[in-house]
Amino acid sequence: MDDLERKLISDWDKILDDVEKTQYPIEFVNSVTISYASDSINSGKFQQIDFKSLRGIGYNESMLSEILDETLESFPDDDGIMEFKLDIKNIAIAAQLETESYLMEI
């Protein structure tokens, strides 16, 4: 990875940090970590779904979405936190392509 690419990823990471996110397109999620609340029956436990690795062994986005949906259905709303690790590089590329397309139309 060259310096320009590192800067691009760093810039997009800062931009995304400031944006309220309520939904993530599955193709931009590298992993999800679920940490259970300290007062729950699962205290101290966590679960991680590594989408990047699953893609590497042939899972498609539909299959990954199904895995996430099933996991979310079994996760109590008030029983901890979920952390989404995003693919910043691909988000930046997709946003740039959409921006260029939009600008060409005006």
Q: What is the pLDDT of residues 39-68, one digit of tens each?
A: 656 667 788 999 999 999 999 999 999 998
CA 59, CA 51: separation in Å to the nearest integer? 8
Q: What is the pLDDT of residue 95?
A: 82
CA distance 11 to 14: 5
> Which amino acid appears at position 47 of this protein?
Q
Asked if residue 84 lies in contact with residue 22, where contact means CB atoms within 8 angstroms, the answer is no
Where in the chain are the domains? 28-105
Q: What pLDDT is stored for residue 61 in this prediction? A: 93
The pLDDT, as a whole number, for residue 8 is 67
Query: pTM here?
Result: 0.65
pLDDT of residue 31: 95
Q: Given phi > 0 = left and psi -120 to 50 = alpha, else beta, which region is 80?
A: left
Q: What is the pLDDT of residue 63?
A: 95
Residues of the chain with pLDDT under 70: 1, 4, 8-9, 12-23, 38-43, 76-79
Amino acid at 95: A
